[in-house]
Amino acid sequence: MAGSLDIVWARVHSHIGNQIIAIRNSLEASRSKIGEKYRQLPLSRINGKVSQHCLKVLDDETRRMTELSYQVHERCGCAMRVTHGLPCACQIYDSLVAQTGLYRRKIHPFWKTLVIGDGVNVPEFVNDCNEDAAHFRSLVDEVVASDPAVLRNVSRIIEEELHPDHSNLEEPQVNHNVRGRRRNNDTRRHHSYFEHVDRRYTERRTQQTVTEDQGDIRQCRYLHLLPGPMLPYITGWKDVIGDGNCGFRCVADFFLGDQAKWYDAREILANEVAAHPFLYERIYGIGRVWLNVDRIRWDGGAVDSRHWMVAIQDLFPIATWFNAVVIILGVGNDPTCYYPCLTILPLQARAGVRAPTREFVIATVGGSHFICIDLVDNSPLPPIAGWWTENHEPSVGGWDQLYIARRNMWDALVGQ
């Protein structure tokens, strides 16, 4: 570009100004333009709240998720999350499975800054509840502007949800005497049957006093859900509030002395996993450590399945951080099956530690609820978890040999 400085400067200034105008027009289009193909999950919640280019990138990543199929967690690589600050294929898959879609908090601020210039409005971070409310209001506006028949149908659905007592239909009785969840063809990792708690059961348990649910095992309402051969060795039990935090409440009650410290238990375990990502990658799977750290961290009270304790995996950081033998008791789908009865040992030990110092016993009952159990000293010990055998560090090598006699007692007890 030839010319004097003032002419060159004017031309450059004009060119930059035109670029800024074009960018502003593009950002404004991102605000007002609601693409039809982005109105469905997983992109519906962020449509109109992030740039159109961001939506296109996420749409491409969604197609890649489909191509990866059931191997999405193993083959994802999570590059999109690292390089772009956007949800990767496995995160998109998890959001679809949970039927929640993608929230703005998962998107880097770069993609949400739809204003440029002085006084840029960087979108504030909002929690899921606020975003759900905003999404609901947008749906209300859409319904109000729709056909009257649609408005009546949606109103009826909402009324039935908010006021179920107005219906002539009676709520069916809840069957707690179940053998496990029904199999399905879901391609994601299948959680253990006891991870799926009955919501009505949970709501009732939060209203009961915990002090009534402890003591003599003969008075335990879950007696038929515990492994029969172990009943003579159980000296006591304690129920905890069933609000979705029950597994962590058991940890808090045993190790911290108060189940109300479930939040502290979550933080301790999340920090343990985050501090040793390569170690726990062997337990949670490649690329899934931080996903599980986010799941374990929770401070919002009663919680849904996205933040429940996951047995058997979460028992490993419990055993490792507290240097404890963790015993989990439960009855499998077949009455003669004693899975998930397992013993979890620490994956690594601090210098100078030669053996676990405590034994923590937790039981799975009522579909997904956890309770604390007391066992007599030197009771039979269920099989050592295979994940420990395959993935423990040298600092705890041979620790399984400390329990050979008790393991033999278990094998003799269940007739193996």
CA angle 292, 293, 297 (to 5 degrees): 115
What is the reported pLDDT for 251?
96
What is the reported pLDDT for 401?
95
Query: Is the pLDDT reported for residue 326 higher than 90?
Result: yes
AA identity, residue 52: Q
| Integer Cα distance of 57 and 43 in angstroms | 11
Average pLDDT for 249-259: 94
What is the reported pLDDT for 188?
42
The CA-based dihedral angle spanning residues 7, 13, 19, 24, taken in that order and rounded to the nearest 10 degrees: -150
How do residues 145-181 score in pLDDT, each as one tens digit? 766 666 666 676 676 666 555 444 444 444 445 444 4
What is the reported pLDDT for 176?
47
Nearest of 141, 140, 132 to residue 45 by alpha carbon: 132
Query: Is the pLDDT reported for residue 128 higher than 70?
Result: no
Is the separation of the CB atoms in 338 and 169 below 8 Å? no
Average pLDDT for 384-401: 93
Residue-range domains of the chain with CATH = 5-125 (no CATH), 197-414 (3.90.70.80)
Tell me the pTM: 0.51
How do residues 72-82 score in pLDDT, each as one tens digit? 887 888 888 88
| Integer Cα distance of 265 and 214 in angstroms | 21
DSSP 3-state of 279:
helix
Nearest of 247, 243, 369, 371 to residue 302 by alpha carbon: 243
